[in-house]
């Protein structure tokens, strides 16, 4: 069922789980806009009565790029705001951090929730192809329930913030992912196609002499690793692990 209200959803995604969730929520509305979160600050509030943020959990918290985006967002009092985070097995304190950010800006988000789905942190693990369909089916069911709840403007406040927990998760993220840009390994089968550079959500990869070079602004999102058509990019122990992208998302959906 569609309503006449307009919705704008800001999303961050590497392998399409968060974009899939954002798309399902948007599909309930006649007028919807999906906007990719990038390094640019939002100067103006969108002309929408409903505004959402959808992104993955990173190390039990908010990905740094999303954190600074939310910190700079010009929140208003007369808008229904929601936030949905996709994750694999551990959601940590993600939504409580969002709560802190928005409270500091004088607003309370109206709705927050999580979607458990296929994990994409190939540096640490691979989710086997056998397990994926059931996980995605469940994610789809949960996403649809969330979309229904948002459509009727359900009030489901975000959990209370805990400073210690945020500090701990931030520390772990820095420990494991701060120097990701130094840790990519390029195999000989790279064909220099440049897809890694095109799917990088933060424009951190340039192609030089038909080879990718990573800058220092890596978001640790793993998009380059997962979308390489030759599986020629590895990170940590990810070599040989099965790549992943959400089956609803095509590479074209991520290209800029």
Ligand X SMILES: Cc1cc2nc3c(=O)[nH]c(=O)nc-3n(C[C@H](O)[C@H](O)[C@H](O)COP(=O)(O)O)c2cc1C
Name the site residues for ligand X (rule: CB under 6 A): 13-18, 56-60, 86-90, 92, 117, 119-121, 177, 220-222, 246
Report the nearest approach of ligand X to the CB of residue 159 (Å). 16
The tokens for 14 are 């590497």
Report the nearest approach of ligand X to the CB of residue 103 (Å). 23
- Tokens 């209200």 belong to 5
224/218 Cα distance (integer angstroms): 10
211/221 Cα distance (integer angstroms): 19
CB nearer ligand X, residue 73 or residue 87 = 87
CB nearer ligand X, residue 81 or residue 177 = 177
CB nearer ligand X, residue 28 or residue 226 = 226
CB nearer ligand X, residue 121 or residue 224 = 121
Report the nearest approach of ligand X to the CB of residue 51 (Å). 19
Residue 214 near residue 181 (C-beta atoms within 8 A): yes
User: SS3 of 34, please?
Assistant: strand
Q: For helices 94-104 and 64-71, give the axis angle rounded to 10 degrees.
A: 20
Report the nearest approach of ligand X to the CB of residue 175 (Å). 12
Sign of CA dihedral 121, 203, 15, 140: positive
CB nearer ligand X, residue 96 or residue 246 = 246
Q: For helices 132-151 and 17-26, give the axis angle rounded to 10 degrees.
A: 40
167/189 Cα distance (integer angstroms): 40
CB nearer ligand X, residue 54 or residue 101 = 54
Report the nearest approach of ligand X to the CB of residue 81 (Å). 20
Contacts of 137 (CB under 8 A, 6+ apart): none
Report the nearest approach of ligand X to the CB of residue 151 (Å). 22
């Amino acid at each position: 069922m569609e309503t006449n209200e307009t919705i704008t959803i800001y999303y961050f995604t590497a392998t399409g789980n968060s974009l899939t969730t954002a798309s399902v929520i948007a599909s309930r509305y006649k007028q919807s806009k999906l906007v990719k979160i990038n390094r640019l600050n939002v100067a103006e509030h969108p002309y929408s009565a409903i505004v959402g943020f959808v992104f993955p959990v990173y190390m039990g918290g908010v990905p740094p790029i999303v954190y600074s985006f939310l910190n700079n967002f010009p929140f208003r009092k007369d808008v229904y705001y929601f936030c949905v985070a996709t994750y694999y097995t551990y959601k940590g304190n993600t939504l409580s951090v969002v709560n802190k950010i928005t409270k500091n800006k004088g607003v309370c988000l109206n709705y927050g929730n999580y979607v458990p789905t296929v994990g994409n942190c190939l540096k640490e693990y691979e989710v086997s192809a056998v397990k994926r369909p059931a996980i995605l089916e469940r994610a789809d069911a949960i996403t649809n329930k969330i979309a229904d709840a948002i459509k009727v403007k359900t009030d489901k406040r975000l959990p209370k913030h805990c400073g210690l927990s945020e500090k701990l998760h931030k520390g772990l993220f820095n420990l494991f992912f701060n120097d990701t840009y130094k840790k990519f390994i390029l195999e000989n089968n790279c064909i220099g196609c440049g897809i890694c550079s095109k799917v990088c959500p933060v424009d951190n990869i340039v192609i030089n002499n038909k080879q990718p070079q990573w800058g220092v602004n890596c978001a640790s999102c793993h998009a380059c690793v997962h979308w390489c058509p030759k599986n020629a990019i590895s990170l940590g122990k990810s070599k040989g692990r099965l790549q992943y992208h959400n089956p609803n998302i095509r590479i074209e959906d991520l290209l800029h």
